[in-house]
């Protein structure tokens, strides 16, 4: 489990929605950092065995932080910055293709 | 396709220093970086980190300030948020910026793609809550986010101590450090003590970090020989054994386990370009071949920084400068006399920076058991292939990683072998009795990072890069007659 | 020195299928393969078990492919039972997409000719858009129609190769990697194969070394007029089930990845390494399936097809060097079943399968057939 350090932080608060729940996070954070800081540790389940995964590298290399962000599946949470009103859900198994 | 004289890929210390050097000679280089802000991993979020108390991240971090500032004075065309997904020997660079894919051509390319953490395959390393120590550092630097107790760190190497120290300075509790450094490493490292003495500043820093951790009262277990991450759906506890008490499993609750066994060059691009790579027995990794000026064996390509072999941030910056000078010389923007005048002092500085490396490499060399895990351990996180499966196909007569990959899907996922490649080569070499050079590595191809079919379709439509940048034109799907 | 009844030069799909077949009759069989970085068409194979449009101007080739399509229904379960490896063979039929009415009419004309030439053994149907959409619901609205035959299917070429290697091992065959054959000499009534790692002796030698056959065939009085033909494949992230039927350039694998590229018989790609080619493949896929626009490509692959002048296989026994055989083809997946179950028995002494009698290289000296 992760959390923001208790210390002065001048950054603005941004509200995103994760699995239907509003999360107050900090401007400039990546989605992965914001979710971890909000106590989320499971980001996805794998398409191979549906086992749960969370971020491993936080630098764009491991693809374990995949999420569905604003309706687009399989996005790297550690490479995308949060924005007001963003909706995020876990990436469950293989992505679907909408018509 | 627009052609530019010099492209630099990666805005860590090597890339930033290369860009500043080229700019000093009046050439405006284009510096592409995947991240939204400069600094690479080492100086990550230097301009924006919420951790403003300088002592928190330490002086080595803030050392990057001048390099980052140089990007902001207009002499460098710095392009953050640009992912390079394709490169070829003609200098074609495939870029992805936001949703837009495009191609440009560069006459000279400096690859400054840095390092990644060495894979650390143990039972349970895929559980949520188990991460690289580098990931924790990124979270700390960029967001002021830290793991909550109970937290365990395991592995070996300076970064492990640094993260522990940064955490303790920030008031975050560390339950234990499980040190995996084997006893014989101290004896081997002692053989390189001369270099350590030359690099006494690094030695002193390391010792003071260890002292800091001791003062903070952090539990420090030594010579850990086995380590399991366990939990139901997420990490719940860590179990380990040590050389001192080989028959006793010790256990500690943990919601976060940070693993670290040093860093290795990120070779995705140099591999895809088909450059020669040599196995470094000292650093236990592949290093793309380059000369003392960073010239690779591929015409027009230069390699700077940890992407060519691990040397640390200051070496990387010096190598960035050297590579830029070599690129300038190859573009006839610098004559031989000036080249020598500029490079000689940098070579001396580099030699002094690197003096401690053999000592560090020997001291923090991960033991065999950590690099060639037991059969049940997953080595390919993407396709969930175990070490045992790799050994099974080796017994079928499969001698190299490419046949193995096609038989098992190991290395076929989106990370393209970044987290299994080293492990697989080492396991196969052991199984077949071949050397690791004979065993080889995955043959990599673009895209280096996934791009969508729509982006790929629009990538080659020939629209001028600069124009597209100005107009922000949307992707156009080309319809070419197929033969 | 090792001595084998049969030595198969080449451990790709063609050589492995033949060796697998030879092993079943209790012979001492060796497969001589190159090392890990050897060029290997089998790794770039698209994975179709395909009959449509094969053999135009050479109906025997159509019959041979049809026979393989049928024998695949035995081969796949047999490999599963023997090795535990599911090679993901499915035969749901396959479609060749026609984007315009003109394409569709031309296709119908071509396949009608093929049906005529094969005296009706090749059967197909032309589908209009509606009929196509019923079979392939993901199809884009602009596709005019398709040709369809129940004989088509697909399999995982990589698992097939692994299963064949495992099957060879199970049946007592020997797989010798790092065994590039430099020279083939006659030795008594058999052959001596020169490798860097020492010689191998054998009674019969089967050349199945893909493009490598070019240099070897002439050493045993045969001819392998082959040219490389490069193809490129894009592979996407895994997606939920979308396509049951394979098409000539897009199929969904058992793992859920979409594999996109050009089929091995209809379109020749000449340059596989340029982004322009990859972009073209992506464009063509989107033309047929616009909904795939946001699907991510995670890998690309390129391979050289082993092409004969007419695109049909070459199988030949040497007259000057009895016991030497040549097998050249670019359809290593489609033909795997006949290679294992009909070609191998011929090599070990049974009668020559009727379909392949005209498929020697002699045909290139007699006449120039139409296209494959």
For B190-224, the pLDDT digits (tens) are 999 998 888 888 889 899 999 999 999 999 999 99
> Where does residue A69 rank: exposed (0-12), middle (13-18), buried (19+ CB within 10 A)?
buried
Q: Is B45 helix (H, G, I), strand (E, B) or coil?
A: coil
CA angle, C261 then C263 then C265, to 5° = 150
What pLDDT score was predicted for residue B450?
A: 92
Question: Nearest CA to CA, how far is B203 from chain C (Å)?
Answer: 42
- The model's pLDDT over B336-392, given as tens digits with 9 standing for 90+, comes to 999 999 999 999 999 999 999 999 999 999 999 999 999 999 999 999 999 999 999
What is the Cα–Cα distance from C111 to B208, expressed in whole angstroms? 80
Neighbours of chain B (3+ CB pairs under 8 A): A, C
What pTM did the predictor assign? Answer: 0.92
Which spans in B191-227 are helix H?
193-198, 200-215
Whether C294 contacts chain A with CB within 8 A: yes
What is the Cα–Cα distance from C230 to C274, expressed in whole angstroms? 12
DSSP bridge partners of B239? B228, B251
- Say if residue B139's pLDDT is above 90: yes
Which spans in B25-127 are helix H?
54-57, 59-62, 65-70
- The complex scores an ipTM of 0.97
What is the Cα–Cα distance from B464 to C4, expressed in whole angstroms? 62
What pLDDT score was predicted for residue C46?
A: 86
Q: Is B449 helix (H, G, I), strand (E, B) or coil?
A: coil
Q: Inter-chain contact B452–C295, Cβ cutoff 8 Å?
A: yes
Give chain B's end-to-end CA distance (angstroms, integer). Answer: 23
Alpha-carbon dihedral sign for residues C60, C65, C71, C73 = negative
Cβ–Cβ < 8 Å for B113, B9: yes
What is the Cα–Cα distance from C134 to A13, expressed in whole angstroms? 50
What pLDDT score was predicted for residue C370?
A: 54
Question: Is the peptide bond preceding residue B447 cis, with omega within 30 degrees of 0?
Answer: yes
Structure tokens at C115: 């049906």
What is the Cα–Cα distance from B53 to B48, expressed in whole angstroms? 13
Nearest to B452 among C165, C169, C294 (CB): C294
Cα dihedral angle (B149, B155, B160, B165), rounded to 10 degrees?
Answer: 50
Neighbours of chain A (3+ CB pairs under 8 A): B, C
- Give the Å distances, CA to CA, from C124 to C53, C108, C154, C176, C352: 10, 9, 17, 43, 28
Q: What share of chain B is helix, strand, coil (3-state, %, to 5)?
A: 40, 20, 40
What pLDDT score was predicted for residue B473?
A: 32
Closest chain A residue to C242, measured at CA: A97
Cβ–Cβ < 8 Å for B164, B177: yes
User: What are the backbone angles phi and psi of residue C282, rounded to the nearest 5°?
Assistant: -65, -40
DSSP bridge partners of C97? C146
Closest chain C residue to B442, measured at CA: C37
Report the phi/psi class of residue B376: left, alpha or beta, with left for phi > 0 and alpha for psi in -120 to 50: alpha
Closest chain C residue to B458, measured at CA: C279
What is the Cα–Cα distance from B355 to B129, expressed in whole angstroms? 37
Question: Is the peptide bond preceding residue C226 cis, with omega within 30 degrees of 0?
Answer: no
Closest chain B residue to C173, measured at CA: B396
Q: Which B residues in the span 280-319 are in contact with A, Cβ-Cβ below 8 Å?
A: none
Other C-beta atoms within 10 Å of C235: how many? 18
Q: Inter-chain contact B384–A49, Cβ cutoff 8 Å?
A: yes
Nearest to B147 among A2, A33, A79 (CB): A2
Closest CA to C304 of C208, C181, C209, C211: C211
Q: Calculate the CA C212 to chain-centre distance.
A: 16
Cβ–Cβ < 8 Å for C62, C121: yes
- Give the Å distances, CA to CA, from A6 to A3, B27, B152, B350: 9, 45, 20, 40
Low-confidence stretches of chain C (pLDDT beneath 50): 263-272, 372
**E strands within C208-242?**
227-238
Give every CB contact of residue C95 below 8 A, 6+ residues apart in sequence.
Answer: C127, C132, C135, C136, C146, C147, C148, C152, C245, C246, C247, C248
Q: Inter-chain contact A5–B172, Cβ cutoff 8 Å?
A: yes
- What domains sit in chain C, N to C, each tagged with a CATH number? 3-81+157-225+312-363 (3.50.50.60), 91-152+227-307 (3.30.9.10)
Give every CB contact of residue B337 below 8 A, 6+ residues apart in sequence.
Answer: none
Whether C292 contacts chain B with CB within 8 A: yes
- Give the Å distances, CA to CA, from B186 to B75, B183, B190, B359: 47, 6, 6, 9
> Where does residue B323 rank: exposed (0-12), middle (13-18), buried (19+ CB within 10 A)?
buried
- The model's pLDDT over B290-348, given as tens digits with 9 standing for 90+, comes to 999 999 999 999 999 999 999 999 999 999 999 999 999 999 999 999 999 999 999 99
Q: Inter-chain contact C240–A99, Cβ cutoff 8 Å?
A: no
- Say if residue A56's pLDDT is above 70: yes
Give every CB contact of residue C82 below 8 A, 6+ residues apart in sequence.
Answer: C166, C167, C170, C171
Q: How confident is the model at residue B160 (pLDDT cuts 50, 70, 90)?
A: very high
Mutate to test the interface with A, among B145, B147, B419, B455 (most CBs of A within 10 A): B145
- Say if residue A8's pLDDT is above 90: no
Mutate to test the interface with A, among C133, C140, C141, C237 (most CBs of A within 10 A): C237
User: What are the backbone angles phi and psi of residue C24, rounded to the nearest 5°?
Assistant: -65, -20
What pLDDT score was predicted for residue C37?
A: 66
- What domains sit in chain A, N to C, each tagged with a CATH number? 12-92 (3.10.20.440)
Q: Inter-chain contact A98–C242, Cβ cutoff 8 Å?
A: no
Helix-helix angle B133-143:B158-169, to 10 degrees: 40
What pLDDT score was predicted for residue C38?
A: 61
Average of pLDDT values for B138-156?
Answer: 94
Whether C65 contacts chain B with CB within 8 A: no
Mutate to test the interface with A, among B139, B141, B233 (most CBs of A within 10 A): B139
- Give the Å distances, CA to CA, from B376 to B258, B379, B452, C126: 21, 9, 34, 51
Average of pLDDT values for A41-69?
Answer: 96
User: What are the backbone angles phi and psi of residue B353, rounded to the nearest 5°?
Assistant: -60, -40
Cβ–Cβ < 8 Å for B259, B125: yes
Question: Nearest CA to CA, how far is A91 from chain C (Å)?
Answer: 12
What pLDDT score was predicted for residue C177?
A: 87
Structure tokens at B6: 């010099």
Structure tokens at B314: 């200051």
What is the Cα–Cα distance from C34 to B131, expressed in whole angstroms? 39
């Amino acid at each position: 489990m992760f959390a923001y350090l208790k210390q002065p932080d001048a950054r603005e608060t941004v509200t995103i929605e994760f699995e239907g729940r509003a999360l107050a996070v900090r401007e400039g954070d990546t989605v992965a950092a914001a979710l971890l800081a909000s106590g989320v540790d499971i980001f996805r389940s794998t398409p191979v065995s549906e086992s749960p995964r969370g971020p491993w590298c936080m630098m764009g290399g491991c693809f374990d932080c995949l999420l569905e962000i604003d309706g687009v599946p399989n996005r790297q949470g550690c490479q995308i910055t949060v924005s007001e009103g963003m909706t995020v859900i876990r990436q469950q198994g293989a992505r679907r293709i909408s018509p | 396709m627009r052609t530019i004289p010099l492209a630099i890929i990666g805005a860590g210390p090597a890339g930033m220093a290369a860009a500043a050097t080229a700019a000093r000679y009046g050439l405006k280089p284009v510096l592409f970086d995947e991240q939204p802000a400069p600094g690479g991993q080492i100086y990550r979020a230097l301009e924006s980190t919420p951790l403003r108390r300088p002592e928190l991240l330490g002086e080595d971090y803030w050392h990057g300030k001048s390099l980052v500032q140089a990007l902001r004075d207009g002499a460098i065309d710095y392009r953050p948020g640009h992912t390079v997904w394709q490169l070829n020997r003609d200098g074609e660079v495939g870029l992805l910026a936001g949703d837009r894919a495009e191609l440009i051509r560069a006459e000279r390319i400096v690859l400054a793609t840095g390092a990644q953490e060495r894979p650390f395959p143990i039972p349970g390393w895929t559980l949520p809550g188990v991460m690289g120590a580098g990931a924790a550092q990124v979270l700390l630097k960029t967001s002021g986010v830290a793991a909550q107790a109970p937290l365990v760190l395991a592995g070996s190497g300076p970064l492990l101590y640094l993260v522990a120290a940064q955490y303790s300075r920030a008031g975050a509790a560390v339950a234990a450090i499980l040190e995996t450094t084997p006893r014989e490493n101290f004896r081997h490292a002692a053989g390189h003590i001369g270099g350590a003495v030359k690099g006494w500043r690094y030695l002193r820093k390391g010792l003071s970090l260890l002292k800091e951790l001791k003062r903070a009262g952090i539990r420090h277990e030594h010579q850990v020989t086995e380590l399991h991450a366990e939990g139901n759906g997420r990490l719940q506890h860590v179990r380990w054994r040590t050389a001192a008490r080989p028959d006793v499993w010790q256990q500690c609750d943990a919601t976060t386990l940070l693993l670290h066994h040093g860093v290795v060059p990120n070779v995705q691009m140099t591999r895809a370009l088909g450059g020669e790579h040599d196995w470094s027995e000292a650093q236990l990794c592949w290093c793309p071949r380059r000369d003392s000026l960073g010239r690779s064996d591929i015409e027009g390509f230069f390699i700077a920084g940890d992407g060519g072999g691990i040397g640390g941030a200051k070496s990387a910056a010096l190598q960035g400068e050297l590579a830029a000078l070599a690129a300038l010389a190859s573009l006839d923007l610098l004559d031989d006399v000036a080249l020598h005048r500029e490079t000689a002092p940098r070579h001396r500085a580099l030699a002094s920076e690197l003096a401690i490396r053999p000592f560090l490499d020997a001291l923090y060399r991960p033991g065999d058991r950590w690099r060639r895990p037991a059969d049940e351990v997953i080595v390919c996180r993407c396709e969930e292939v175990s070490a045992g499966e790799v050994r099974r196909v080796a017994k079928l007569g499969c001698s190299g990683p490419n046949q193995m990959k096609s038989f098992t899907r190991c290395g076929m996922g989106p990370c393209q072998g970044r987290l299994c490649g080293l492990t697989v080569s080492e396991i196969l070499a052991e199984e077949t009795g071949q050397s690791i050079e004979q065993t080889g590595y995955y043959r990599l191809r673009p895209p280096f990072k996934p791009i969508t079919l729509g982006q790929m379709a629009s990538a080659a439509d020939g629209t001028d890069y600069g124009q597209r940048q100005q107009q922000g034109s949307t992707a156009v799907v080309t319809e070419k007659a197929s033969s | 020195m090792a001595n084998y009844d049969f030595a198969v030069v080449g451990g790709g799909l063609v050589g492995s299928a033949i060796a697998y077949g030879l092993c079943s009759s209790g012979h001492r069989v060796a497969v001589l393969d190159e090392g890990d970085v050897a060029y290997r068409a089998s790794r770039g194979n698209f994975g179709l078990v395909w009959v449509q449009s094969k053999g135009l101007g050479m109906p025997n080739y159509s019959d041979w492919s049809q026979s393989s399509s049928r024998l695949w229904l035995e081969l796949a379960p047999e490999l599963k039972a023997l090795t535990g490896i599911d090679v993901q063979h499915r035969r749901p039929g396959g479609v060749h997409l026609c984007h315009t009415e003109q394409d569709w009419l031309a296709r119908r004309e071509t396949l009608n000719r093929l049906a005529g030439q094969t005296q009706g053994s090749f059967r197909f149907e032309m589908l209009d858009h509606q009929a196509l959409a019923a079979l392939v619901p993901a199809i884009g609205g602009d596709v005019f129609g398709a040709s369809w035959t129940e004989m088509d299917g697909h399999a995982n070429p990589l698992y097939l190769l692994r299963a064949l290697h495992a099957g060879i091992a199970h049946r007592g065959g020997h797989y010798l990697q790092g065994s590039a054959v430099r020279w083939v000499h006659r030795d008594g009534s058999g052959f001596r194969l020169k490798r860097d790692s020492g010689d191998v002796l054998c009674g019969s030698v089967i050349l199945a070394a893909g493009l490598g056959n070019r240099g070897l065939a002439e050493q045993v009085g045969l001819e392998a007029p082959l040219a490389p033909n490069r193809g490129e494949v894009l592979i996407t992230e895994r997606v939920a089930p979308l396509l049951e039927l394979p098409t000539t350039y897009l199929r969904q694998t058992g793992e859920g990845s979409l594999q996109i590229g050009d089929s091995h018989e209809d379109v020749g790609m000449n340059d596989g390494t340029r982004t322009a080619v990859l972009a073209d493949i992506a464009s063509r896929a989107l033309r047929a399936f616009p909904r795939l626009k946001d699907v991510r490509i995670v890998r690309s692959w390129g391979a050289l097809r082993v092409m004969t002048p007419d695109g049909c296989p070459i199988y030949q026994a040497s007259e000057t060097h009895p016991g030497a055989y040549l097998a050249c083809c670019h359809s290593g997946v489609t033909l795997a079943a006949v290679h294992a179950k009909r070609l191998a028995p011929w090599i070990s002494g049974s009668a020559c399968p009727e379909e392949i009698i005209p498929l020697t290289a002699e045909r290139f000296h007699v006449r120039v057939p139409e296209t494959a």
